[in-house]
């Protein structure tokens, strides 16, 4: 196994430097495969050892590196040790590398890398991830799409690293917009249309009532009256609201299913309406509330206590705000789910909001607020379909599927399949995901259908294509007799390069777990696909002697398994044929 190799090198260091093995596990990294010929497999940063206090930080770094490299001797695992710039390089015996890396793939093994020493060092517990969180009757914008796929990635990652994960959708299902929607529905709504196409109809009503309200005071009066009825939980108003909410959740569930995403909890702002007022009361009791000149109530967050920075929790008319409900929701979630960490995924325009949330909670005595985190992401420009602006999540998915289907029908390599729509859907979605995950999450980017759907570029289509190609290779050769496995038949540069690359898988997951950025995994998988493409050309299975064919199939099976596992973490469902 990969971790056997890392552990063996760490053990060697541990014996020489007389420090526990663990001290070296994270200071060792697998060497990235580069175009230039690369022969060593692991690299130890001597500076990291100094920084971690494993060796004294005095004297010349380079001299010390060389001295240490000289002191370390080859053994049955390591065949070459050399000093580089502040690093020591280790080259594992080639045959052992092949054997240990490919051993796990004997029986449909899909946990490769996930049990590694490095990943064991990460804290485990209950992680609550709140993501997607659209607003009822409003547009599902690009920000919601990003939150949906990024949140799903984080949840998948946390889960595969051994945490128990709660996936929560926090709907915008309360506030004055429901006053308008309710009043609007009474005027322009239609139960028939609501049943037929709920999201569209609610959106239409909402747009219409907003337009009317621009110069019609009566609408506002009706809206305020309706919202008041809601706040007082009056029967008919509540049942209309509940109908809107239920219908919306049902519709969303179906679209999330197309993305392969589910939620454990559909929560929402409405759930915390009353608790929000209890929060205000508690803030008052704790002496944390100040009444401003405008008559609003706020928590002073300024270091000097001069209200130069503050968080408003109550309007002058006594109604609560978005932040008030978030304070209540956080406390409630902690009580209900006992999370060890909570992650909120929204666009970066809400950074200030969450910053305030994470200041008010500790002021109230909730030290666990330190284990809450906001993952912000940038804006997407130009997410349009052929027929115009995107209003619903469904529109983007339909367009991705349609475009992909068209590309598939024009490509000469497309295979016969039972349900091309289904494949087009999965591949189209992977294109959306990879386009979104390639850069740092905080960056803005321009949505580009043509670029994201390219079969040859660094796209989700390329990942799927490589996966399907590997599956087909295995299907075509499942007649090759299974027998013993001879590692000496996989010593070619192309196969070593793939194995060296796979050595990095756990480090990539480790890095992703640390900064919650999907780009590390995306680039790792794209690189894997390029390496597979070269190996595919130079290491044919067909026409090779049985033992060679067997060994090569095992290499490709390993690559395919890691590719599929990484794709699943990203939220991509791998296809077997395309
Ligand atoms: N519904 C909000 C919006 O669309 C996002 C909610 C984010 N989560 C939260 N706990 N505030 O902007």
Q: Which residues pair with 210 in a beta bridge?
A: none
Question: What is the percentage of the chain residues whose pLDDT exceeds 70?
Answer: 98
In-domain check, residue 149: yes
Section 533-543 average pLDDT: 95
Phi, psi of 374 (to 5 degrees): -105, 130
- Residues contacting ligand 1 via CB (< 6 Å): 130, 133, 135, 170, 172, 326, 344, 346
CATH of the domain at 500: 1.10.730.10
Phi, psi of 572 (to 5 degrees): -105, 135
pLDDT at 107 over 70: no
Q: Which helix (H) or strand (E) holds 380?
A: strand 380-381
Write down the pTM of the prediction. 0.96
pLDDT one-digit tens code per residue, 279-306: 999 999 999 999 999 999 999 999 999 9
pLDDT at 212 over 70: yes
Section 560-567 average pLDDT: 97
Of 377, 408, 431, which residue constitutes the final position of a domain? 377
Q: Quote the Cα angle for 137-327-248, to 5°.
A: 20
In-domain check, residue 101: no
In-domain check, residue 388: no
In-domain check, residue 390: no
Quote the CA–CA distance of 515 and 102 in Å, as a whole number: 29
Distances (CA, A) of 321 to 269, 271, 297, 490, 550: 10, 13, 11, 64, 64
In-domain check, residue 541: yes
Tell me, what's the pLDDT at 108?
65
When pLDDT is cut at 50, 70 and 90, the band that residue 37 belongs to is low
Residue 568: name the closest of 433, 383, 435, 436 by CA. 433
Phi, psi of 314 (to 5 degrees): -145, 130
In-domain check, residue 298: yes
When pLDDT is cut at 50, 70 and 90, the band that residue 482 belongs to is low
User: 134 by DSSP, 3-state: which?
Assistant: coil
Section 314-334 average pLDDT: 95
Section 396-409 average pLDDT: 96
Please give the residue range of the domain that contains residue 8: 2-92
Best probe residue, ligand 1, of 139, 168, 172, 354 (max atoms within 8 Å of C-beta)? 172
Q: Does residue 290 carry a catalytic annotation? A: no
Tell me, what's the pLDDT at 1?
64
The count of residues in the chain is 578
Report whether 143 contacts 343 (CB < 8 A).
Answer: no
Q: Say if residue 265 is in the same domain as residue 156.
A: yes
Best probe residue, ligand 1, of 170, 249, 329 (max atoms within 8 Å of C-beta)? 170
Put residue 543 in one of left, alpha, beta given phi > 0 → left and psi -120 to 50 → alpha.
left
Question: What is the percentage of the chain residues whose pLDDT exceeds 90?
Answer: 85
Choose, from 141, 426, 467, 536, the residue flagged as catalytic: 141
Q: Does residue 93 carry a catalytic annotation? A: no
Long-range contacts at 92-97 (CB < 8 A, ≥ 24 apart):
92/5, 92/9, 92/41, 92/42, 94/491, 94/496, 95/487, 95/488, 95/491, 96/5, 96/487, 97/5, 97/41, 97/496, 97/499, 97/500
CATH of the domain at 61: 3.30.1360.70
pLDDT at 35 over 80: no
How far away, in angstroms, is 345 Cα from ligand 1 center? 9
Section 371-397 average pLDDT: 92
Tell me, what's the pLDDT at 244?
95
How many domains would you assign to the chain? 3
Of 40, 68, 92, which residue constitutes the final position of a domain? 92
Q: Does residue 141 carry a catalytic annotation? A: yes
């Amino acid at each position: 196994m990969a971790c056997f190799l890392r552990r063996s090198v760490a053990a060697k260091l541990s014996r020489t430097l007389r420090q526990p093995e663990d001290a070296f596990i994270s200071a060792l990294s697998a060497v990235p495969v580069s175009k230039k010929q690369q022969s060593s497999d692991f690299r130890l940063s001597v500076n990291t050892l100094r920084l971690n206090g494993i060796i004294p930080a005095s004297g010349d770094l380079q001299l010390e590196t060389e001295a240490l490299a000289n002191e370390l001797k080859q053994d049955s695992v390591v065949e070459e040790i050399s000093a580089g710039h502040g690093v020591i390089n280790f080259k594992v015996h080639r045959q052992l590398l092949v054997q240990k890396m490919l051993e796990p793939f004997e029986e449909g093994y899909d946990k490769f890398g996930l049990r590694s020493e490095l990943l064991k060092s990460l804290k485990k517990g209950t992680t609550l991830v709140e993501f997607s969180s659209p607003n009822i009757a409003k547009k599902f914008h690009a920000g919601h799409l990003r939150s949906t796929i990024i949140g799903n990635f984080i949840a998948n990652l946390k889960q595969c690293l051994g945490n128990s994960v709660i996936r929560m959708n926090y709907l915008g299902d309360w506030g004055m917009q429901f006053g308008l929607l309710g009043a609007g529905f009474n005027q322009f709504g239609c139960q028939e249309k609501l049943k037929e196409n709920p999201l569209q109809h609610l959106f239409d009503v909402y747009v219409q009532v907003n337009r009317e309200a621009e110069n019609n005071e009566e609408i506002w009066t009706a809206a305020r009256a309706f919202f008041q009825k809601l706040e007082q939980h009056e029967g008919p108003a509540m049942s209309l609201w509940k109908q809107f909410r239920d219908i919306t959740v049902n519709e969303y569930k179906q679209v999330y299913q197309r993305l392969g995403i589910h939620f454990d909890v559909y929560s929402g702002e409405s759930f915390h309406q009353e608790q929000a007022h209890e929060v205000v009361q508690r803030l008052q009791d704790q002496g944390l509330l100040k009444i401003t000149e405008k008559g609003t109530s706020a928590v002073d967050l300024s270091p000097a206590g001069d209200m130069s920075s503050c968080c408003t929790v109550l309007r002058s008319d006594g109604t609560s705000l978005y932040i008030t409900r978030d304070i209540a929701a956080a406390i409630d979630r902690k009580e209900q789910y006992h999370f060890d960490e909570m992650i909120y995924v929204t666009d970066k325009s809400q950074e200030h909001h969450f910053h305030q949330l994470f200041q008010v909670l500790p002021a109230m005595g909730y030290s666990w607020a330190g284990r809450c985190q906001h993952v912000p992401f940038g804006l997407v420009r130009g997410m349009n379909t052929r027929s115009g602006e995107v209003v619903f999540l469904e529109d983007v998915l339909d367009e991705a599927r349609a475009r992909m289907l068209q590309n598939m029908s024009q490509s000469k390599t497309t295979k016969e399949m039972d349900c091309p729509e289904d494949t087009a859907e999965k591949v189209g979605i992977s294109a959306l995901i990879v386009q979104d995950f390639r850069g740092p999450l905080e960056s803005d980017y321009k949505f580009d259908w043509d670029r994201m759907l390219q079969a040859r570029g660094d796209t989700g289509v390329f990942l799927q294509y490589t996966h399907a190609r590997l599956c087909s290779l295995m299907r075509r050769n499942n007649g090759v007799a299974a027998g013993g496995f001879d590692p000496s038949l996989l010593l070619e540069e192309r196969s070593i390069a793939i194995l060296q690359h796979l050595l990095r898988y756990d480090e990539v997951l480790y890095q992703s777990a640390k900064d919650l950025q999907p780009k590390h995994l995306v680039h790792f998988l794209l690189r894997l696909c390029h390496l597979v493409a070269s190996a595919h050309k130079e290491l044919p299975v067909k026409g090779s002697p049985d033992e060679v064919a067997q060994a090569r199939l095992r290499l490709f099976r390993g690559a395919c398994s890691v590719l599929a596992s990484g794709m699943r973490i990203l939220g991509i469902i791998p296809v077997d044929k395309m």
